[in-house]
């Protein structure tokens, strides 16, 4: 059997083109086409590489973000000339107002303010922690207390340009820092 014979019907052809045309017209359902052409394979490889790169970049961003500490601001940039309704807040103080407190308080002395922030959502707090912080705050006209969402510490005392992080309530440490 020569190389130019049809394997299905054993007909002989004079050229490879003739054999190919015969197979396409007479035995077309039996001719298997490759699932992916070389062009499609290259496109698929490119998409896979792109998805891998995007995955790596996303993972790096997540890793960097998860390692970043979230703390209250200590600067005055973009502050807002507004005050919270009281020194003791039960919800988060908006950042522009938080910064305004650090600039000065709405008291006759216009003394720079101090904000005691706490995070009892992500940390285990003693049952009376918030009560202790509120009682402490009531002793001073320039100290505010409020929760701070997603903060990377249980308690943070903030004044302009400085912060003190605490794992537990310590009245002495807080007094020392604010006075």
pLDDT digits (tens, 9 = 90+) for 70-89: 889 999 888 888 888 889 99
CA contacts within 13 A on the Cβ side of 32 = 3
* 11 touches 22 (CB < 8 A): yes
> Which one is predicted more confidently, 60 or 169?
169
Query: Is the pLDDT reported for residue 1 higher than 50?
Result: no
pTM above 0.75, yes or no: no
Give dist(CA 104, CA 83) in Å, integer: 10
Query: Is the pLDDT reported for residue 163 higher than 70?
Result: yes
Mapped onto helix, strand or coil, the DSSP state of residue 178 is helix
Which strands form 162-166's sheet, in the order they lie side by side? 143-147, 114-118, 155-159, 162-166
Query: Is the pLDDT reported for residue 2 higher than 80?
Result: no
Contacts of 125 (CB under 8 A, 6+ apart): 118, 154
């Amino acid at each position: 059997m020569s190389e130019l014979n049809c394997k299905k019907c054993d007909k002989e052809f004079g050229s490879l083109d003739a054999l190919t045309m015969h197979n396409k017209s007479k035995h077309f359902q039996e001719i298997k086409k490759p699932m992916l052409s070389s062009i499609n394979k290259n496109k698929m490889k490119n998409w896979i590489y792109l998805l891998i790169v995007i995955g790596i970049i996303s993972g790096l961003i997540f890793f960097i973000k998860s390692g970043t500490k979230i703390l209250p601001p200590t600067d005055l940039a973009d502050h807002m000339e507004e005050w919270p309704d009281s020194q003791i807040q039960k919800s988060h103080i908006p950042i522009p107002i938080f910064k305004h407190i650090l600039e000065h308080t709405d008291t006759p002395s216009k003394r720079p303010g101090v904000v005691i922030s706490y995070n009892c959502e992500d940390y285990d707090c003693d049952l009376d922690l918030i009560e202790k912080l509120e009682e402490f705050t009531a002793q001073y006209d320039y100290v505010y207390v409020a929760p701070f969402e997603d903060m990377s510490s249980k308690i943070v005392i903030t004044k302009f340009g400085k912060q003190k992080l605490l794992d537990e309530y310590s009245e002495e440490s807080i007094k020392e820092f604010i006075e």
